Amino acid sequence: MSPSEPCPCGSSKAYRDCCGRYHTGAVPADAAALMRSRYAAYVRANAEYLLASWHPTTRPSNLDAQSLAGVRWLGLSIKRHQIIDNDHALVEFVARSRVGGGSAQRLH
């Protein structure tokens, strides 16, 4: 994927101007931007960013980029973004994917 191509998060911005900047060190401004950046990292099989942005209490010890590449991501829809307090927010989303030749799945 070229940095000038549309970002896979669905924002209609170029990848370099959207999630690409988070993947290279910028900090997402809010929970919705973090969710979009993580979705884009899954699409791009960016295991390093996924691990770095995972909460330490639930983060796996490793993440295999090759297994990430076996998933075809079909789209992300942010349904709701609610700020709870200075340190917490809620993001309701639907992400669609397909593994191999299987049926499409929805994560909600």
3-state SS assignment for residue 49: helix
In the chain, what are the domains?
A: 15-107 (3.10.450.50)
Burial class (CB in 10 A: 0-12, 13-18, 19+), 96: middle
Task: Please write the tens of the pLDDT for every residue from 45-69.
Answer: 999 999 999 999 999 988 988 888 8
Candidates 38, 30, 75, 72; CA nearest to 54 is: 38
CA distances from 96 to 31, 68, 103, 104 (A): 19, 14, 10, 7
3-state SS assignment for residue 69: helix
Assessment of whether the complete model's pTM goes beyond 0.85: yes
Whether residue 59 contacts residue 46, with contact meaning beta carbons closer than 8 Å, is answered with: no
Question: Can you tell me the mean pLDDT for 59-82?
Answer: 91
Task: Please write the tens of the pLDDT for every residue from 2-41.
Answer: 778 999 999 999 999 999 999 999 999 999 999 999 999 9
pLDDT of residue 31: 96
